[in-house]
Structures are given as C-alpha cells and as structure tokens.
Amino acid sequence: MDKSIFLWEYLQETRKPIVIYGMGDGCDKIMAVCRKKGIPIQGVFASDGFVREKKVHGFPLRDYRSTKEAFGDMIVLLAFGVFRPEDLALIQKMDRETQFFAPEVPLFGGELFDRAYWNQHREELDRVEDMLTDPLSRKTFRSLLEYKISGRIGPLFSCEQNRTHAFEELVSFRRGDVFADLGAYDGDTALEWNRLHPDHGGILALEPNPKTFARLVKNCREIPRFWAEEAAAWSCEETLFFQEKGGRSASVCESGKKRVRGCALDRLIPRADFIKFDVEGSEKEAIDGAKNLIRKCTPDLCISAYHRTEDLFSLPLQIKRLCPDYRVSIRHFPYVPAWDTVFFFSVR
C-alpha cells in the first residue's frame, strides 16, 4: 500500500477480510468508525492469554493463529496500546505476516484524522513543522503524519527515541529549579526528577484521581520540598466532573457523579522552571491556567501531544502565542499507536 493512501479509504475499497485485534474501548471505537464508513469487520481476536469463551460485537473471540487460519490473507486493525518491548516485537511480527494497521481514534476527543481533517488543518500542521528547531523533530513530525494518514506502524518505529536521552538533550536544569508535575499519577515522574536532580528547589504535583493521589503521596513522602494537590490542572478554580478509568486514563468530562477540584497553576506557585503537562485531554485548559507563569518565567515545558486529535498543532501554536521565543522540539517514545508523543519547549 502506498503511504499516500488514507487508511479509512483503503479499508472501504479493499476486498480482504478485516479483523480487529483487541477488545474493550479501542475495539468499540474502531467498530463505530467502521460501521459509519461502511467498512465490514469479520472477526475479533485477542492475545493468547486473554482469549475466553465469549463474543465481542457478535464475533466469537479467537486467538491470532486460529484467526489467520480462518481468514488467510487478512487485514488486522490494532485496538489497544502497545509499549512493552515483547509486545512491540509481536506486532512487528504480525506486520510482516499480514497487512497490519494501528488506526488512530481520538482518546479524549476530536475528529477522526481522515482526508477531510488533513485538508482542513494542513496549514496549521505546516506552521508547526516550520517552527520545529532540530532535524530529528522535523523527521519525527513527518513520520507521525505518515502514520496518522496511513495507519501503518513502520513510521512510528522509524522515529522512536529513548525517553531519558530526550530529556537530557532537551531539558535544561539548574540548582534550585522548581518543577510542576501536572498529571502526576502515582509520583513516577516526581521520583525520577528527584533522583536525577536532588538539589531542586521544590516539586509541586497535581493529581485528580483520589486513589492514585493516595499512592502519589505515599510514594513521594521522602522527597524534600514536595507538595501535592488532589486537583486537576485547569484554567481556573472550578469544580469539575471526573471519570475514572484504568491506569492513567482518569480525565475531566462534561457530566458525571464524581467531582474534582480544578485549579490554575498560576494561583498555586509564584515561580516554575519546568512544567510537565500530561493531563489526559485537558492540556489546553491547563496551559491557560499557567499562562502567567509561562510568560513571566519562561519555564521549560514538556506537553503531551496525543490525547486529542488537534493537539499536534493546537498546543504548540497556543504556547507560541504566549511566548514566541520558545524553541520547539517533538519526540515520540516507543508506543503504538502514537500515544507517547511529547512537545518540548525551551528558551534556556
């Protein structure tokens, strides 16, 4: 398949049987898109350890081997996130044996990245590519677009980078720097920051999930100058609705039974030297809530770029409006789909 062909159009035109690899929310989303676009799905399979006597969307759940025996020359659509090395190796093997795609469906909102979306936002995407300051960022950006257009996993593997090397290369640190961890989860990033830079000036961590917040406080209790808030990073002080899913996927939503405090970083600290934004689709609002700090302190920034379809262009354009002097880089860390892609901003 030529990389210029859009995935969803190709699936509409092919005569090959199409099956989905994986269950749960990702499978539901892909199935919904396929129904809307008139793309027939002929089966669902799971990894060997997850096969059960059950049906998924009316299909008996199979394993990969029996699915391949049943359908032969088939198309596989990946419906969950893969990041462990052994799982990444497995899907590369499937990619060699079948036509294998990892469709990007929005995690927390936004439109489908199809031909119409590409045409609508081509100018903004070009503007972001033009503002990238290093060759690796430009290669990464083009590979990400190739992946989003084609659904092929090869472009993601071609641009993946080591997380530690990226932070060492793109984030400056000085003694006494203050770190704000927005979307702190269980404290993994704060612990790593403290290990690498024990002479920091303080770490503020925000985490809205009550269960995860309890683990955060417990895990980080030995970090000096550590301060945690059970809150969602937001544009202002506001009570928000909140939905809790597995892992890190707790997010702000429009309605629900659970409530959480939303707060603006500008109101919590007078200074920041590094801010990490990983807030499950609320990056735009969290940046709005930190705009005074960004303008005044020009801290190094690390911002997730994959929760909403528009994040790849809307977030860097938002930051550059606040501070045109920022240098902009992008890195993709090992993950399929492109769920671990981040922008770095620095003036130091």
Q: Is residue 313 part of a domain?
A: yes
From start to end of the chain, where are the E strands?
18-21, 43-45, 55-56, 59-62, 75-78, 99-101, 178-182, 202-206, 226-229, 232-233, 238-243, 251-253, 258-263, 274-277, 300-304, 327-332, 341-346
Q: Is residue 262 part of a domain?
A: yes
Same-domain check for residues 213 and 91? no
Q: Is residue 114 part of a domain?
A: no
- Work out the burial of residue 19: count CB atoms within 10 Å of its CB; fewer than 13 is exposed, 13-18 middle, 19 or more buried: buried
pLDDT reported for residue 2:
45
Q: pTM for the full model? A: 0.93
Does residue 220 lie in a domain region? yes
Domain boundary among 103, 118, 146: 103
Query: Among 265, 257, 223, which residue's Cα sits nearest to residue 240?
Result: 257
**Which domain range does residue 82 map to?**
7-103
Read off the pLDDT of residues 257-298 as tens digits, 9 standing for 90 and up.
688 899 999 999 999 999 999 998 999 999 999 999 999 999
Over the stretch 23-44, which tens digit does the pLDDT of each residue have? 999 999 999 999 999 999 999 9
For 111-153, what is each residue's pLDDT tens digit?
A: 999 999 999 999 999 999 999 999 999 999 999 999 999 999 9
Nearest residue to 266 via CA among 240, 239, 242, 285: 285
CATH number reported for the structural domain that contains residue 86 in this entry: 3.40.50.720
* Count: domains in the chain: 2
Q: How does pLDDT run across 169-184, given as a tens digit for each residue?
A: 999 889 999 999 999 9
> Are 92 and 151 contained in the same domain?
no
Q: Per-residue pLDDT for 167 more than 60?
A: yes
Q: Is residue 116 part of a domain?
A: no
The pLDDT of residue 243 = 72
> Does residue 118 lie within any of the structural domains?
no
**Both 167 and 300 in a single domain?**
yes
Is residue 121 one of the residues assigned to a domain? Answer: no
Domain with residue 311: its CATH number is 3.40.50.150
Q: What is the mean pLDDT of residues 320-346?
A: 97
**Same domain membership, residue 173 and residue 304:** yes
The pLDDT of residue 254 is: 62
